A and B are shown apart, each in its own frame.
Chain A
């Protein structure tokens, strides 16, 4: 039976309560009659033989690109860059897709007699990955062959000796990227596409760039002009990356892009109920839900977090394509839509969403309040094509405990951003003008980014900029079950129950509002007609 497409349910009297993520817990909410609940398409069938598919893609590239074996020769300098820990979510079961692809590339390089090969984690300004995380992504064989010899490095956007300035785009944007990658005879980029935003020229132009380069598109103005940044053709973020990608290519950097699509099978069988439509829950699903809920309700959040972060996703690869960046990315984007696209008729007054424990920036860490905002308003709000799911002036209701809690190891600058910046203003433009540079150049954050496992000092700003379009668009944001102090610091409202939240929303959107709920997991993209 082929996977069912996405579905928009209209809630009626017989509809069972709807499942909401609530951080490390779940909530069941009975939504008002007439509300809509959007369910993602079911997972697409995976490739039967991923390794064969990868080999085929490398030998039959798309666009104006020779097959990979033809690009490899003795004496050349080969660099393989790959996406970091932020993808996929949750981290996938072994073998990770990066391992499968890179093994094939390395085999071809070995066959061609290429000796000078280095691997680079395309971190941009994300935190450095730990050894266990790298072993998980690459497999022990690759890790042991490269890491001990210094041939597996993590991009350092603050090492002036490891960066090269390639020039300015026609819009005056600096393009400064990893020197080793830029000066290689061939740069192979290994991408995982979980959301439509990823991949394309963004892989190299962002993943291997410096702050000097990133600041041209990671800013509130760009985000406000990206409608949305999940829709490449209406995304100023992507336009800037495409300009930079063109300059990178014109500078002679030979990029061989490999992009992969995953299906949306995000949780193992024990959590099947998460991805099922509630009225289709069987006895096993009900028991699994009840068991999980009871245990989680009695488990301190800290331990529940550990349990969830140990979960590995059974994602499977549905396609792989390689070759010239734009040709590859066009196919990848189509495939993302095949897996994630749901057609939705019209906008809504209130958009509700349950936020999980994880986002791209807190794998093995805490979803702090800034990341809560970013996950809801940066990601889920922007998962649309056409127009936002919620109308201008509408309300977003998010469900998450939003504790005033941060990882000092991973998010040190987030703490100061939350304490010192958001206490002054929540306006993204004021924040950018008043505070960004001092955080970006703070030597302590730079030290922790370069030597520890901390996100760059400027990273919380980017998370807040991610929210800029939503903040500009919405009439109010309400967090159900959030810590009042933390929620108020974000500039949002807090409600103790969904009923209270709906009543509060009535003050903004009137007494008979329409409500649409994004049912996750898995994630999906709304094509709003």
Chain B
């Protein structure tokens, strides 16, 4: 069976980086990613279950890795060769047990929560972060019974979603796909969970104005999370910058109050806040800015449009960026990262804290986020798929996925 395998190969890595100058994903054919024959990965023990992927998304972090743009920070928490793909919905052909201990019959569809924290690594006692439910912040990502890897899709032992041979997932990673969920709904849960975590990290107060930079999958799901999870309690105003016309339409449909091209966002924020402008920066500004891009430009833009003592939440994966931090210092801004997911302070009906994935599954239903899946490709058209994903916004797409259901793929 075929799988896309990412190998440590410096010449190919360099070639991919050069090719990416012509567009993200352009290095797919010559880079370190190759379509190879692969065997299903072995389960480390009986707490791990084999999952046969149905759909697996292509994420911005996957493209950054492929393009050689991701930070060297991740080098020691990735193991090679790995099969990418951490946004996965698949079938448990042999059944399994989910994160809550519920037994799942053979043939059950499941979503994986890809973070490889202390539980999958069988580290006891867990690190303080895992112990408090913040699995994404696990301190043991390079330790335990499996190779280093911050998530499934970056670990040599687990396999990943871009594989017809499948992957193995620990019971703590498994969530049953709710009845009525399409595969598209299910595959969008993982990025939605990132957005939910980001929205809840914003510490948004009643009446706040919120700006969202970027309208790719993360930006759009963040807008949806703000609209459905935050706005009911805060009546916050959401302004969004979106480059492409279809992104603007979707951003509005997701609940943004004002959607403008990115170069107009600062002016829209200024108008909304009634702020003055000093040396290119707003004297007031948005209470909270979500940077769903993670570039030097977007971070600089965020710092220029947030109010003094406001909060900038970095949602998009940054690499090495060049940003003037003088406004952060001078205006006493709070710059926070929002990575992945875990357990949120939001409580369920019994007062128990809810996992981000549970909230994300609810949000996918409420906001119809499965519609963000715009195109699906079979694995053997991976070069085409990655180029499409790299140019998703420009080509009128949001989320591009691999379709491993033995279908030829489709474009919406």
Contact = CB atoms under 8 A, between A and B. Distances in A.
Question: Is A bound to B?
Answer: yes
Interface of A: 415-416, 419-420, 423, 438, 442-444, 447
Contacts of B270: 444
B320 interface: no
Given A442-B271, A444-B270, A419 B276 contact: no
A447 B274 CA distance: 12
B299 to A, nearest CB: 23
B277 interface: yes
A438 B267 contact: no
Contacts of A447: 276
B277 A419 contact: no
Contacts of B260: 419-420, 423
A438 B274 CA distance: 9
Given A419-B260, A443-B274, 11 more contacts: A416-B267, A416-B271, A420-B264, A420-B268, A423-B260, A438-B271, A442-B271, A442-B274, A443-B275, A444-B277, A447-B276
Which 8 A-B residue pairings sit nearest by Cβ, starting from the closest?
A444-B276, A419-B264, A416-B271, A416-B267, A443-B274, A447-B276, A420-B268, A442-B274
Most buried by A among B260, B270, B271: B271
B267 A415 contact: yes
Nearest to B261: A419
B296 interface: no
Nearest to A442: B274
Contacts of A443: 274-276
Determine chain B's interface SS by DSSP, over half rule: mixed
B242 to A, nearest CB: 13
20 contacts: A415-B267, A416-B268, A416-B271, A419-B260, A419-B264, A419-B268, A420-B260, A420-B264, A420-B267, A420-B271, A423-B260, A438-B271, A442-B271, A442-B274, A443-B274, A443-B275, A443-B276, A444-B276, A444-B277, A447-B276
B258 interface: yes
Nearest to A413: B271
A415 B263 CA distance: 12
B258 A420 contact: yes
A438 B273 CA distance: 11
A274 B312 CA distance: 57
Interface string B270-308: 110011110000000000000000000000000000000
Contacts, number: 27
Contacts of A438: 271
Contacts of A420: 258, 260, 264, 267-268, 271
Contacts of A423: 260
A438 B237 CA distance: 16
A443 B284 CA distance: 11
Nearest to B276: A444
B78 to A, nearest CB: 43
A443 B272 CA distance: 11
Contacts of B268: 416, 419-420
From A438, A443, A444, A447, residue with most partner B Cβ within 10 Å: A444
A444 B264 contact: no
Interface string B228-268: 00000000000000000000000000000010100010011
Contacts of B271: 416, 420, 438, 442
B209 to A, nearest CB: 13
A11 B260 CA distance: 47
B340 to A, nearest CB: 35
B274 A444 contact: yes
Contacts of B274: 442-444
A92 B66 CA distance: 65
A98 B12 CA distance: 76
Nearest to A418: B264
A460 to B, nearest CB: 13
B108 to A, nearest CB: 47
B275 A444 contact: yes
Contacts of A416: 267-268, 271
A423 B276 CA distance: 23
Contacts of A419: 260, 264, 267-268
A415 B274 CA distance: 15
Interface string B169-202: 0000000000000000000000000000000000
A420 B276 CA distance: 17
B277 to A, nearest CB: 6
A435 to B, nearest CB: 10
A489 to B, nearest CB: 12
Contacts of A444: 270, 274-277
Contacts of B275: 443-444
A438 B264 CA distance: 18
Nearest to A438: B271
A420 B240 CA distance: 12
A447 B271 CA distance: 14
A414 to B, nearest CB: 11
A17 B311 CA distance: 62
B127 to A, nearest CB: 48
A419 B239 CA distance: 13
Contacts of B264: 419-420
A444 B273 CA distance: 10
Nearest to A446: B276
Contacts of B277: 444
A480 B135 CA distance: 61
A416 B275 CA distance: 13
A420 B258 CA distance: 8
Contacts of B258: 420
A375 B267 CA distance: 26
A405 to B, nearest CB: 14
B372 to A, nearest CB: 24
A438 B268 CA distance: 13
A490 B166 CA distance: 54
A389 to B, nearest CB: 37
B182 to A, nearest CB: 34
A500 B268 CA distance: 36
Nearest to A457: B271
A472 B249 CA distance: 29
A382 B266 CA distance: 37
A168 B33 CA distance: 78
A136 B303 CA distance: 44
A279 B275 CA distance: 57
A433 B77 CA distance: 57
Nearest to A421: B271
A419 B262 CA distance: 12
A416 B265 CA distance: 10
A263 B115 CA distance: 80
Nearest to A447: B276
A408 to B, nearest CB: 10
A438 B272 CA distance: 9
B91 to A, nearest CB: 46
A416 B271 CA distance: 8
A195 to B, nearest CB: 33
A309 to B, nearest CB: 26
A124 B296 CA distance: 43
